[in-house]
Amino acid sequence: MITITPAAADMIHRSASEGNINGLPMRIAAKRNPDGSIHYGMGFDDNELEGDIHVKAGDIDVVIAETSQPLLEGTTLDYVELEPDTWQFIFMNPNDTNFSPPA
């Protein structure tokens, strides 16, 4: 379903610890834009919604809305340094029209 790299998992754990919200699942959402690209959202969430899908990505508990599931199938979430000292979560998703596999 979804893969979370060790770098992304480490940052998720650090964020949870800094926010004093350890134990909350990570909700990941996806929505297709009119141009075919995918917009992503993520955050800690303890709300249970009808149709939510719970998955384990490594040691991260992930919650995905039923409507986001097909868009996130096969996605990898990573945390990378885009420029010196500029780190960001990125979604590598074969379902996104703008996706280009890493070289």
Q: How far is CA 78 from CA 23, 75, 92, in A?
A: 20, 10, 8
| Spatial separation of the C-alpha atoms in residues 61 and 57, rounded to whole Å | 7
Domain extent listing, the chain: 2-92
pTM of the entire predicted model:
0.89
Model pLDDT for residues 23-55, shown as the tens digit of each residue:
899 999 999 999 888 999 999 998 989 999 999
Q: Tell me: pLDDT of 1 over 90.
A: no
Assign a CATH topology to domain 2-92: Hypothetical Protein Aq_1857; Chain: A; (2.60.300)
Model pLDDT for residues 59-83, shown as the tens digit of each residue:
999 999 999 999 999 999 999 998 8
Q: Provide the 3-class DSSP secondary structure of residue 27.
A: strand
